[in-house]
Each structure stands twice: as structure tokens, then as C-alpha cells.
Amino acid sequence: MKPENFETIRREGFNRIFSSRRRIFSLKMTPMIDLIFLLLIFFLVTAKWRPKENFLPFQLPAAQAQLQRLGKPEPLIIHIVATQNGCQVQINKLDTISVTNENFEADLVLLMEEIKKTMTSQKRFTCDPIEIICEPAVKWDYAAKIYNLFIGAGLTDITFQMTVEMENKK
């Protein structure tokens, strides 16, 4: 081989190698378009379409200029006063039930019937507030059992009024 031919072959080889690297990068768009259409069909098929909302079978009430304010009702006040053989439970300072050691369970049943009667006559609900006011001399056992009775009856908003007695120090 002549050196001239060798030189031309070498140049052509280098030109082919380096010219292939200089090609412009391009994306093939046909597979991309196919993929986009497949995704579009997938989302259309799997989408959950909401029904029209005007088919609902009720009508909203007309607007009124009158404002109704619903506030929290006054609590039902329960006073528990200590006695020698138990306690007395006073409901709204109207009805008094004695709870004694001898007839403890029967007295609690009477108390619950009286609470039910009072709540019915005053048109109260089980979620209405009840405030228990205990004298300091009342045994905790009585207060706890009365509280448990109210909870067992489904009354949910029960609070104890906290009072602090100040002794006169001389």
C-alpha cells in the first residue's frame, strides 16, 4: 500500500468517527405520542365522574332576616347536702331526694326517676349541662356514686362547682 492511500484511509476513518459524534441529538416522537395517548385513555377509563348535584331530593329553606342565636342552656343545678345517715340531693331547689345508707340502691333509683321527670318537664337533653354543688361535709362516696349514676344514664356534660371556704383568721 502506498503511503498516500494509507493517509487518505486514515483521514476518512477519523472523519467518520468524529463526524458520527457531531450528529444532532433528536427524540423519536412516535413512541412518545403513543405513550401519551395510552395514558390519556387510562385516565379517562379510570376516572370517577361525579353525578350532577341538582338531582338531590330536597330544597333549601328560603333566607330569613331573623337571626336565631342558639346558646348553651342554663345548667341543671344539683345540690348535695350531708345528713347524719347519708345525704340529700336537691334538684333545682324544687325537689329533694334523701339518699340513706339503709336504702341506698332504692334511693338512687328514685333520684334517677326524679332527674328524668325534671329533665322531661324542662325539655332538656342529655347533652345539656348539669352542675353538681357538694357541701364539704358530703362523703366522697356519695358524690361519686351520684356522678356515676348520671354518667350511666347518658348525661354527658356534668361539672362540679368548686368552692373555697375562707376561715376568718384572727
**Mean pLDDT along residues 115-144:** 86
**R_g of the chain computed on alpha carbons:** 43
Task: Calculate the average pLDDT of the chain.
Answer: 79
Between strands 76-83 and 86-91, the pairing is antiparallel
Q: Using one digit for the tens of pLDDT, what is the confidence trace for 25-43?
A: 677 888 889 999 999 999 9
| Torsion angle of the four alpha carbons 100, 102, 105, 106, in this order, in degrees rounded to the nearest 10 | -90
Q: What is the value of pTM for the model shown?
A: 0.53
Residue 119: predicted pLDDT: 86
Alpha-carbon gap, residue 97 to 111, rounded angstroms: 6
Name the percent of the chain lying above pLDDT 90: 6
pLDDT bracket for residue 75 (50, 70, 90): confident
Domains defined along the chain, listed by start? 76-160 (3.30.420.270)
Choice between 136 and 68, residue whose per-residue pLDDT is larger: 136
Degrees, nearest 5: CA angle 79-124-91:
15
